[in-house]
Structure 1
Amino acid sequence: MNAPTDVQIIEKNGQPEYAVIPYEDYIALLHSQNSNEFIPHEVVELSLSTGGNMIAAWRKFKTISQTELADKLGISQSAVAQMERPGYNPRSDTLKRIAIALDISPEQLF
């Protein structure tokens, strides 16, 4: 799908609320999506329960222990625990290493 086709805009209170597209276009959009660009709902819920820490959320979603993640990263379990604290702000190279260890894209850690 290169350009919008038959799009129906449904308004609520004078503002656009929904865009309805043909089913074929919807299917094409689904198949064009890169699954590494999305975050599963379960990860979002886990993130909320961990104070917003996506590293902890993804680790728990993937059922990996802190020790296992530490081994993959070549660091200590206590270093992983520090990374999972709310407010932790890793460097981009650290995010890349964590993403590789969790088999996700770095963008999914934001």
Structure 2
Amino acid sequence: MDLQVISRDGEPEYAVLPWAEYQALLKAAGVSRAPEAAPSVQSAASAAADSDLPSFDQLGSLRQAKGVELAVLARAVGISPSYLEMIESGNREPDAAIQRSLAWELGVPGWRGEA
């Protein structure tokens, strides 16, 4: 297996591996649908039209409803707990990569754009 381990403070934090090997691991784990290699681009207008998707002002309640601690979600997304707190309180707007990570970790297909 062609694997790269990225460490922080002397502890392994991330593992990077080729896409084909990642797909094989997912298959072996019984995961039937893996994320696409490149996320599809969705227009802001069509994103805003999805009324069933939560907005970021609901992030904290969604996280709590799923029973995920703030620090655990922040670590999984790769941001600090204080930054996640700022996103949840509306003081910061996450970039697209953080939005995708939050959606993935919370099992939400995407986020509605703010009007």
More helix by share: 1
Which structure is higher in RCO with an 8 Å CA cutoff and minimum separation 6? 2
Normalising by structure 2, report the TM-score.
0.44
Normalising by structure 1, report the TM-score.
0.46
* Structure with the greater alpha carbon radius of gyration: 1
